Chain A
Amino acid sequence: MRKLFLLSLVVVALVLFGCKGADRPGGSGGSTPPPGDSITGVWTGSEGPLQNKMTPTARLEITEDAGVVSAVWYSSKLFPDAGPWPIGVLYGFRDGGTLYLRNTAEQLPDGGLQGGTEFKATITGSHLEGVDQRTDSDGPLPIYLKLDRSQ
């Protein structure tokens, strides 16, 4: 399962590589962090299923180690007074300025991941735009994130 997931991520990465600029949300040709620059830090901004009605309630705490990225997604929309408890836990890797993560995947005993949703984001400088590709009984339900690095 882990190999399949990694393989699929690599395939997706390769397919998207050639059209990265066009595919990038809000792609403005800004600088993407080179592989050597860590994106570890706190990113805050807005979130929601409607791009024109996003709420400024999102907080993403990203940790990057040798290309492996983990992040915890907090939403004060759900927990205005609750303190640090996540509504999402993301795990995956970064390829240049693009993040390929899975949200709330289950960690298997062999270290692989299972389930969860696909989360893809593009980082341009200190700006991150991403989409968590969820589905429900009505069909696809993308949740958009637009964040800026705050720490």
Chain B
Amino acid sequence: MARPEKVFLGTALAVLTVVVASACSSALAQTDEESAASLTEPNPIVGNLYLQDGGQGICEQINIVGNNCVSPNEFPVACCKYYLPPSSQQLQGPFCIEYSGTTVKTHQVGKGFCCDLWESGYGPTDWVRFEDDVTPCDFCGGKTPSPTECCTRSRDIVPAYPVTDPTVCPDLQQDPDHQPSITVPPCGSKEMADNGIHIPQEIGPVIFSVACGFHDECYSTCNKNDPAAKAQCDARLGADLSADCAAYWQPAINSAKNSDDRTIARGGLSDCLLAARVYFLAVSDKLPIIGLAKGGQSAYDKAQHEVCRCCKGGPGEEVVPP
């Protein structure tokens, strides 16, 4: 008797082969118009699956958007069930095929997962629980998140705020109670100041606090899981500080009365630019000396944790702040 894991893997391979070779691919490649149309029509059966041990299942393409089971849109999932009661050799219970770019993954799902009825005539909102084919699914695999909760992509309910794992959030967004803000002082943080680390707010005659304020606002803007967001914030800080240096020193260089004054002004600009680079390297955690203003990533993570929420919250309704 084959081990369940092998059966599962074999099933997954069979599923993959069938899906790729069947009409599933054309159904998955539907246009936005088709997706919109399917919201009001019964979901199409995208392929019959012949499992490794002869069992037969049916896939129906569904989708989980926010807290709702709806027709395919941007996160297609095929929900499969057996025609016949599965044997001990077969994959137990329903499983899902998740399409992500060019990869296809199968996931076995447990009780409470949202599947739709087979009979014709049911619309896309007629999702029922797998285990009895009767109990309505509501919004999150049989569970309904409250206005302060979100339904994750794996159909778990998690608090909308604070976010514990941003990667599972269906619609990571700015928490309305935590808008982008500027720390006091703008360059550095209150924690650093409390620890005796005083980051200069100006480099000689050049004010750096404005650029630092923009950087704070950038860090405290929910990035919606954009992996490049922090680097963009840091790059902008470097560019803004450098521009501030040039805005002050370049006129001094241009108006210098003699060669020495010009050289000294050039030195001022150069010092300012190097200091700006130290700020940039510090927030980027790229200074080669350990212990010197490390912590840009942790500051960013802390800010994101404070300002992001996992979804709008609740079954598609506005969250009313307490």
Contacts and interface: CB of A to CB of B under 8 A. Distances in A.
Nearest to B279: A85
Contacts of B236: none
Contacts of A91: 288-289
Contact of A53 (B260, B270, B277): B260
Contact of A75 (B266, B271, B277): B271
B264 to A, nearest CB: 6
A33 interface: no
A105 B199 contact: no
Given A49-B263, A87-B278, A104-B278, A78 B203 contact: yes
Contacts of B204: 77-79
Contact of A48 (B199, B267, B277, B289): B267
A89 B267 contact: no
B97 interface: no
Contacts of B271: 75, 77-78, 87, 143
Chain B interface extent, by class: 20 to 34
Given A78-B271, A136-B269, A107 B288 contact: yes
B25 to A, nearest CB: 39
Given A50-B264, A89-B289, A136-B269, A83 B198 contact: yes
A18 to B, nearest CB: 30
Chain A interface extent, by class: 20 to 34
Interface string B186-202: 00000000000111100
B274 interface: yes
A86 B264 contact: no
B1 interface: no
A104 B274 CA distance: 7
B275 interface: yes
B278 A136 contact: no
A89 B278 contact: yes
Given A83-B198, A104-B277, A143 B270 contact: yes
A134 interface: yes
B217 to A, nearest CB: 22
Nearest to B262: A138
Q: Determine which residue in B199, B267, B281, B289 has the highest number of CB atoms from chain A within 10 A of its CB, and name it.
A: B267
A88 interface: yes
A86 B276 CA distance: 10
Interface of B: 197-200, 203-204, 260, 263-264, 266-267, 269-272, 274-275, 277-278, 281, 284, 286-289, 292
Given A79-B203, A117-B274, A138-B266, 8 more contacts: A49-B263, A79-B204, A88-B274, A89-B281, A89-B289, A106-B281, A106-B286, A136-B266
18 contacts: A48-B267, A49-B266, A50-B260, A75-B271, A78-B200, A78-B204, A78-B275, A82-B200, A85-B200, A87-B278, A89-B287, A89-B289, A91-B288, A104-B281, A106-B286, A134-B270, A136-B266, A138-B266
